[in-house]
A = this chain, B = another copy of it.
Amino acid sequence: MEERQEKERGIMGQEQEDEGKSQGQGASMNAQNSMAERGKNCTEMDEKGKEKGMEEGEMKKEIELDGEVKVELCQPVQGLQISYIKGSDLFGYVGIEAVLDQMRSKTMKAGFEFNIMVVGQSGLGKSTLVNTLFKSKVSRKSCTSNYEEKISKTVKLHSISHVIEEKGVKMKLTVIDTPGFGDNINNENCWEPIVKYVNEQYEKYLIEELNVNRKRRIPDSRVHCCIYFLPATGHRLRPIDTEFMKRLGKIVSIVPVIAKADTLTIEERQDFKERIRQDLTANGICVYPLKEYDEDPEERILNDRIRDSIPFAVVGTDKEHQVNGNKVLGRKTKWGIIEVENVAHCEFANLRDLLIRSHLQDLKDVTHNIHYETYRVQRLNESNMNFSELGLSTWLLENGTGEKYESESHL
């Protein structure tokens, strides 16, 4: 391709400053498109960055040689140097940031979906914790009066959906429960129904996406987050924990938590958490948030702090108590009230912040960009899907790939 690659000299006569900005900018806009790739290979990306630096050096030389040069692309080519205009260079207010309000209002009208799965043996307070997270009865205890059901040999999944509206924002929350997990004498392959469920949601999405007549918004039943409940044994990860997380961590974002953490003393908690982190690393288990998906240094710092303190030791409740005249969610014992949302008492608030207040959108993005994409690549390769057979790429070749729109010289 013969795209011309020149640099417009100076927006409103401030060429040097623009130059400086332009480099950082070009790199940052470029980085967005290769996040998934970066996930796979960080060093590769860094090398690309360096190559880019060199190209820009060459560009600068060109500017010195020529009086007025400009970037004029035939068609926008990803990764090419694009000139950069700062707000202070504009001769008036444009209103670009209004797009944020437009998106906000569209999201508020449309609402969004969030699907959370809870896994762990019965009696660890999975339903109570989810109810505490969403401050409502979105999950129901699955303890049945029916003993036969209870001793069912297979893990059964069921999901329950609610629309929760808070301050005008509507979330369709689906909680997927996995009763029976780890409750049997022999728990071999008890993760299989769960793996299958997760993959089936990807499959459904894939089919919808490939449909000729598809929905405007593909219904999203993909599991955005899997909370894995560890019993507060104070020991280490059990084989069932490592086996489950090893497998599931590859296909879904796992957030492990220490359940019913009120049984642990301060020291026990710290020691247990430390040992779990060691076991996670030793077994190569991927838990959310993964280092390789951090998008920038700022996010890295924030996520490092989270990674250093997982698994969160949590306590759930749906009861309110009076503490110093205030109503707080807590569990009252003879020796005191455990305030669930008090960070001095347990790490429930850290979990809630991660899942809802700071990383909810990121959990959805990682599900879509990493886990779903991985599934999609596998499936399409399996099916030997070759779109060139469909005449799609040949059509473009026959009809030109943009080379016909040559940029004209205006020097």
Point out residues on A near B: beta carbons under 8 Å.
8, 11-12, 22, 25-26, 28-29, 32-37, 70-76, 78, 82-87, 89-100, 102-104, 106-112, 115, 133-138, 140, 142, 144, 149, 156-172, 174, 179, 193, 196-197, 200, 203-204, 206-207, 210-217, 219, 221, 295-296, 318, 320, 329, 341, 352-353, 356-362, 365, 369, 373, 376-377, 379-385, 387, 390-393, 395-396, 399-402, 404-408, 410
Contacts and interface: CB of A to CB of B under 8 A. Distances in A.
Interface core residue of A73, A156, A215, A376 (most chain B CB under 10 Å)? A215
Task: Provide the main secondary structure of the chain A interface.
Answer: mixed
A360 B85 CA distance: 19
Contacts of A74: 158-159
Q: 4 smallest A-B Cβ distances: which pairs?
A: A102-B361, A383-B390, A90-B135, A36-B216
Identical subunits present: 2
B385 A142 contact: no
Contacts of A404: 193
A179 to B, nearest CB: 7
Given A99-B107, A99-B361, A212-B380, A29 B94 contact: no
A358 B98 contact: yes
Contacts of A172: 29, 76, 82
B104 A100 contact: yes
A118 to B, nearest CB: 14
Given A85-B163, A96-B169, 6 more contacts: A32-B217, A70-B140, A85-B136, A93-B135, A96-B164, A216-B373
Contacts of A86: 165
Given A33-B217, A87-B166, A87-B167, A75 B136 contact: no
B135 A94 contact: yes
A161 B76 contact: yes
Nearest to A102: B361
Contacts of A213: 377
Contacts of A408: 142, 144, 149, 156, 158, 179
A399 B198 CA distance: 13
17 contacts: A26-B163, A32-B109, A36-B215, A74-B159, A76-B172, A94-B133, A94-B134, A94-B164, A96-B171, A97-B169, A109-B296, A142-B408, A156-B408, A157-B405, A200-B402, A207-B392, A211-B387
B171 A90 contact: no
A345 B106 CA distance: 32
Given A85-B165, A207-B392, A399-B200, A98 B357 contact: yes
Contacts of A210: 387, 392
B111 A32 contact: yes
A170 B341 CA distance: 38
Contact of A396 (B204, B401, B405): B204
B352 A95 contact: yes
Contact of A407 (B158, B163, B387, B395): B158
B91 A405 contact: no
Contact of A410 (B26, B144, B163): B144
A107 B400 CA distance: 33
Contact of A203 (B100, B142, B395): B395
Nearest to A39: B216
Contacts of A407: 158
Contacts of A134: 90, 94
A22 B380 CA distance: 40
Given A142-B410, A383-B391, A162 B215 contact: no
A140 B82 contact: no
B207 A163 contact: no
Contacts of A72: 158, 160
Contacts of A76: 115, 159, 161, 172, 174, 219, 221
